[in-house]
Amino acid sequence: MTTQSYRVLATFIISIFIFSSPLTFASINFPEESANDPYHVGKIIYHRKLACTSCPMSKVIIDPSMYKSVIERLNTDKELMTALNEKERTAVAYYLETLFTPR
């Protein structure tokens, strides 16, 4: 192979590394302290298990006037009780309470 061929090959390999690296490292990472924070845990659970497009509350828009009824539904509605375990319901309730409580 000539030096021109090596340059083309090297350029190709380098461009693969440059353009593929964002794809391989694209993931949701959050600081470890937020993994234990009930607000962040509740937020993640709410959006992944209750508010996604195929989830039980996908069409519900929660506002400050109705968040307490949603928290109550977490412990009375059979569909929501089967979607979330007790720990998850507690985290989602904490998230909603913190989000909508006046400061």
Q: What is the pLDDT of residues 40-82, one digit of tens each?
A: 999 999 999 999 999 989 998 898 999 999 999 999 999 999 9
- Domain span at residue 89? 32-100
> What three-state secondary structure class fits 93?
helix
C-alpha 65/C-alpha 96 separation (Å) is 12
Q: What is the DSSP letter of 103?
A: -
pLDDT tens readout for residues 20-33 = 655 445 455 656 66
Task: Examine residue 12 and state whether it is found in any structural domain, yes or no.
Answer: no
Return the amino acid letter for 31. P
pTM across the whole model? 0.66
Task: Examine residue 80 and state whether it is found in any structural domain, yes or no.
Answer: yes
Q: How confident is the model at residue 13 (pLDDT cuts 50, 70, 90)?
A: confident
Task: Examine residue 38 and state whether it is found in any structural domain, yes or no.
Answer: yes
Task: Examine residue 85 and state whether it is found in any structural domain, yes or no.
Answer: yes
**What total number of domains does the chain contain?**
1
